[in-house]
Amino acid sequence: MKGKTLLVLRHGKSDWSTGQDDFDRPLIDRGRLGSRKMGAWIRHRKLRPDLVLSSPAERARETTEAACQAMGLAAKKVRWDERIYAAPTEFLLAALADCPKGVERVMLVGHNPGLEDLVAYLAEGELDIPDDGKVLPTSALAQLEVFADWPKLTRGCATLVSVTRPGQVPDDLSAEDDEDDEEDQDGESRPVPDYFYTQSAVLPYRLLDGKLQIMLIASRKATRWVIPKGVKEPELSLRDSADKEALEEAGIRGKLDDEPIGDYDYKKWGGICNVVVFPMAVSESVPEEEWEESHRERRWLEPKKAKRLIAEPALRKLVDGLVKRLAKSR
165 marked ligand binding residue: no
32 marked ligand binding residue: no
Rounded (10°) angle between helices 29-44 and 58-71: 40
Which among 44, 62, 65, 82 is annotated as catalytic?
A: 82
Cβ burial, residue 155 (10 Å; 0-12/13-18/19+): exposed
Distance CA 81, CA 114 (A): 14
Distance CA 76, CA 178 (A): 18
- Residue 82 bears catalytic tag: yes
85 marked ligand binding residue: yes
SS3 141: strand
83 marked ligand binding residue: yes
- Residue 11 bears catalytic tag: yes
Distance CA 212, CA 143 (A): 41
Q: What is the DSSP string of 185-251?
A: TTS-B----GGGGEEEEEEEEEEETTEEEEEEEE-TTSSSEE-SEEEPPTTS-HHHHHHHHIIIII-
Taking the alpha carbons at both ends of the chain, their separation in whole angstroms is 66
121 marked ligand binding residue: no
Query: What DSSP designation does 297 have?
Result: -
Residues of the binding site for substrate: 59, 82-85
- Report, as residue numbers or ranges, the catalytic residues: 11, 82
Residues of the binding site: 59, 82-85
